[in-house]
Amino acid sequence: MVLPLLTRLDHVGIACRDLDRTVELYRATFGLEVASFEVNEAQGVREAMLRVGSGAPVAGAPGAGYVQLLEPLGPDTPVGKFLARRGEGIHHVGYGVTDIEQALSEIGGTGIRLLDERPRHGSMGASIAFLHPADLGGVLTELVQFVPVP
Ligand code: CMX
Ligand code: CO
């Protein structure tokens, strides 16, 4: 096993009610621009990735970090339920990993509950998987393996 399993802070996921308004808030306040805009039906979100910084690449992944703004596609989705329960705010933290299958196997072996046994499709072509917040101090944690576009 190569430690640490987490290679970089990839993104902070922020739940919002109105994606377009929140994108505009981040643009007007911080000058951040949308790097990618997607609808992910499987995750139940409309989302925008805003690039922060332009750090040197680490382990083949882009060095920059991102803010991921998330608007739910409906009330019965992870972000929809979160908004109803807690209101707008930080929803999860995403970390880069080099090998997501191996990371899931290692982390699962420690007893932390995996919300995804197998990686799923995430933003900008990445491979992603979530870990249960109740086992990680109340923080919903996402693993992200960057998949370079050929
Ligand atoms: N962070 C911390 N705790 C959270 C949470 C979050 N984002 N979402 C829910 N919880 C907590 C609730 O507060 C609640 O805690 P208590 O029982 O102590 O009050 C508990 O989890 C259950 O809440 P719930 O509303 O019934 O939520 P569910 O159990 O149905 O689902 C979770 C919670 C984390 C398992 C689910 O949201 C999930 O599977 N998330 C992973 C997928 C996801 O979030 N996708 C959207 C982002 C996509 C992307 O980043 O690309
Ligand atoms: Co995310």
Position 147 scores a pLDDT of: 78
Position 57 scores a pLDDT of: 65
Edge to edge, the sheet with strand 127-131 lists 34-40, 45-52, 65-72, 8-15, 89-96, 141-145, 127-131, 120-121
Q: pLDDT for 81-133, tens place per residue? A: 999 999 999 999 999 999 999 999 999 999 999 999 999 999 989 999 999 99
The SS3 of residue 19 is helix
Gap between the Cα atoms of 46 and 135, Å rounded? 27
- Categorize the per-residue pLDDT at 61 as very low, low, confident or very high, splitting at 50, 70 and 90: low
Bigger pLDDT: 78 vs 1: 78
Helix (H) or strand (E) holding 13: strand 8-15
Residue 138 makes CB contacts below 8 A (sequence gap 6+) with none
Gap between the Cα atoms of 100 and 82, Å rounded? 26
- Ligand 1 pocket, mutate which of 130, 135, 139 (most atoms under 8 A from CB): 130
Position 92 scores a pLDDT of: 98
pTM for this one? 0.95
Between the CA of 82 and the centroid of ligand 1 the distance, in Å, is 6
Bigger pLDDT: 86 vs 8: 86
19 within 8 A of 37, measured Cβ to Cβ = no
Q: Does the structure show a pLDDT above 70 at 76?
A: yes
Between the CA of 122 and the centroid of ligand 2 the distance, in Å, is 7
> Does the beta carbon of 130 sit less than 6 angstroms from any atom of ligand 1?
yes
